[in-house]
Amino acid sequence: MSTTCSLLDSADVPAVEILNPTGASRFVLVCDHASNRIPIKMHDLGLTQAQLAAHISWDLGAADVARMLSLLMDAPLVLSGYSRLVIDCNRPLNSKQLIVETSDGVMIPGNHDLTPDDRDRRLETFFYPYHEAIAKLLNDRQGPTALLSIHSFTANLSGNPRPWHIGVACRHDERLAKQLCAALLQHIDIIKESSNVGYNQPYAIEDEFDYTLPVHGEGRGLPCAMIEIRQNEIQYLTAAAVWAARIAQVLQRIDI
């Protein structure tokens, strides 16, 4: 059995999921932290089910919004298949947060004392297939394309409340992010106060912490942005559907 396959059992799902690859939308969607799934052979990394259900393991609700957006917009979508605790698909290879030993005060037993071979096997099994799928989809595209990464964030982190309902983030290329932020503030269903729509809040795109948009977006010269939705806004499917509809309406008004 190859190194790449050995971390996944026959009952495990693939490391990456691709929906609607030939969708006609000019937007390509990605969801780096779509799942809290742990491969069978990793024994939940020594964590409880409650810990795996929490924000340290995934971006709650982000995959639901991304899937609905894909349907509403006829947009291609690439989703990671496993928890960010196995390996974070949005971290540079030299980042200390690529495979964390502790997250928000929670120790991750299955990530301690990893060998270089252990790290390489996770890269080959989960990280590289995800990014190869994004690269192939973009390579196959024809016509105008923009890259949109869908995330979610906690309402409170380390005792600090986060007032934004939704945030838009970018790095050097602000083409898409500025239009998206302005359009969100003009949407009839979104309260028109700056505290509710954050620009580079609660996160900005940074070289130290981000991989997907710098590599696949800015690295290709594509307009790109990250959407962050507060998790208590999308914790139920009905609420996720409301935000997906809002975002789809806003994206229709953007000229890229």
Residue in the block written with tokens 């980042």? 95
Percent of the chain with pLDDT over 70: 95
Q: What distance in Å separates the CA atoms of residue 158 and residue 49, rounded to the nearest whole number?
A: 21
Mean pLDDT of the chain: 93
Task: Give φ, ψ of 37 to 5 degrees.
Answer: -70, 140
pTM, two decimals, is 0.94
pLDDT digits (tens, 9 = 90+) for 110-150: 999 999 999 999 999 999 999 999 999 999 999 899 999 99
Per-residue confidence (pLDDT) for residue 195, from 0 to 100: 64
Q: Could you state, in order of their start, the residue ranges of all structural domains in the chain?
A: 3-251
Q: What distance in Å separates the CA atoms of residue 120 and residue 124, rounded to the nearest whole number?
A: 6
158: pLDDT strictly greater than 80: no
For residues 150, 42, 10 and 68, what is the CA-based torsion angle, rounded to 10 degrees? -20
Per-residue confidence (pLDDT) for residue 256, from 0 to 100: 78
pLDDT digits (tens, 9 = 90+) for 195-223: 689 999 998 999 989 999 999 999 999 99
Query: Residue 96 contacts by C-beta under 8 Å, 6 or more apart in sequence?
Result: none
CB of 205 within 8 A of CB of 37? no
Judged on CB neighbours under 10 Å (0-12, 13-18, 19+), 18 is middle
Q: Please name the amino acid found at residue 83.
A: S
Helix/strand/coil (H, E, C) string of the chain?
A: CCHHHHCCCCCCCCCEEEECCCCCCCEEEEECCCCCCCCHHHHHHHCCHHHHHCCCCCCCCHHHHHHHHHHHHCCCEEEECCCCCCCCCCCCCCCCCCCCCEECCEECHHHCCCCHHHHHHHHHHHHHHHHHHHHHHHHCCCCCCEEEEEEEECCEECCEECCCCEEEECCCCCHHHHHHHHHHHHCCCCCCCCCCEEECCCCCCCCCCCCHHHHHHHHHCCCEEEEEEEHHHCCCHHHHHHHHHHHHHHHCCCCC
Task: Give φ, ψ of 160 to 5 degrees.
Answer: -105, 115
Closest residue by Cα to residue 154 from 239, 235, 87: 235
Could you please state the CATH topology (level 3) that the domain comprising 3-251 is classified under: Aminopeptidase (3.40.630)
pLDDT digits (tens, 9 = 90+) for 35-93: 999 999 999 999 999 999 999 999 999 999 999 999 999 999 999 999 999 999 999 99
